[in-house]
Amino acid sequence: GVFLIPYVLIALVGGIPIFFLEISLGQFMKAGSINVWNICPIFKGLGYASMVIVFYCNTYYIMVLAWGFYYLVKSFTTTLPWATCGHAWNTGDCVEIFRHEDCANASLANLTCDQLADRRSPVIEFWENKVLRLSAGLEVPGALNWEVTLCLLACWVLVYFCVWKGVKSTGKIVYFTATFPYVVLVVLLVRGVLLPGALDGIIYYLKPDWSKLASPQVWIDAGTQIFFSYAIGLGALTALGSYNRFNNNCYKDAIILALINSGTSFFAGFVVFSILGFMATEQGVHISKVAESGPGLAFIAYPRAVTLMPVAPLWAALFFFMLLLLGLDSQFVGVEGFITGLLDLLPASYYFRFQREISVALCCVLCFVIDLSMVTDVSG
């Protein structure tokens, strides 16, 4: 709703101009995020800063891919593991209440709806106890979650073999990873709008709450979304722009890519809120009670929604496959930006065969080792 106003304003004033600036600077200088500042050496520190930022982003962002890959694997079953209690990771407080009718029926078994409010959903317990394996705190040592670790390793292997040969090979892969999610989005939208309550969710998505315009948090969230989704300040756009022809019309490219990016986010909102509207109807609550942001939307709200649908494993597999592909696209950009900037630092006399392949491998291995701290019982 009203979020679109600050989103569009920030995109026009800051997002698109900086997006164009980074691409054009890389195209003009034919260099990555550090050497591009040979145009004005006093600002070279910006290049080093962007390298540090993109390295940290590469390290933590792939965890979303690992979790999505884990959920994807777990979706290939007749009964989704987060749909029922009774598993080893469930607690005594776990209760399978997904619809408001379930709450009414449970009241007949000497349990009131108020008492059930203190119970925990199997979706949340799967996320916290099985995937994250939250511990009491950082001071409590924990072991590796080997299932998630293997998913993390698989994601880094995928990233390596998609990036190791450079942008030409990556570009061919992106033809699939960037286009197939649109097919999945359309399928999920058609499925979503046919569900009861979907219209309420879409109205909630589009109806503005003008009072929130005065909230600084709305503007902060809009700016965060623009800068992160456009990959601004990471050096990745500069690196990718360096591979363009010198006379390439990067102005047109920047406008088209920015519009596609924002348009996709807007379109995906219909998919998400049609499902959230359905969830709110099934649970008998206002949609604001089921709407979550960040990882909670992808790994709690949506998994809970698909448990209410017929053929739930199919919709879960489609969603998490789409999430994996979209995440891989973002990871390609981040790793490419870091590697391009890194190789630019090496003098031409240091060039050796398989230089790029070895550099990408070292980057992936280093990030994987750091990521191991995020797949332990202490990671939460």
Helix (H, G, I), strand (E, B) or coil at 86: coil
Instruction: Say how far apart CA 193 and CA 197 lie, in whole Å.
Output: 8
- 261 annotated as belonging to a binding site for a ligand: yes
DSSP 133-192: ---S-TTS---B-HHHHHHHHHHHHHHHHHHTT-HHHHHHHHHHHTTHHHHHHHHHHHHH
User: What b-and-e string marks burial along 247-262, b requiring 16 or more CB atoms within 10 Å of the CB?
Assistant: eeebeebbeebbeebb
Distances (CA, A) of 302 to 21, 69, 100, 130, 375: 37, 15, 18, 17, 22
Q: Which amino acid is at 205?
A: Y
- Is 329 labelled a binding residue? yes
Residues in a beta bridge with 94 = 120
In order of 95, 118, 124, 125, 209, the CA distances from 92 in angstroms are 8, 12, 13, 11, 40
Strand partners, 376: 144
Distance CA 273, CA 198 (A): 7
Helices 44-74 and 312-345, packing angle to 10 deg: 160
343: nearest Cα among 335, 333, 355: 355
Task: Say whether 326 counts as a known binding-site residue.
Answer: yes
Q: Which residue has the tokens 């609550």?
A: 285
Query: What would the two tokens of residue 275 be?
Result: 């499902």
Nearest to 179 by CA among 237, 241, 243, 264: 264
Radius of gyration of the chain (CA): 23
- CB distance 275 to 305 below 8 Å: yes
Provide the annotated binding site: 229, 261, 326, 329-330
Provide the annotated binding site for Na(+): 229, 261, 326, 329-330
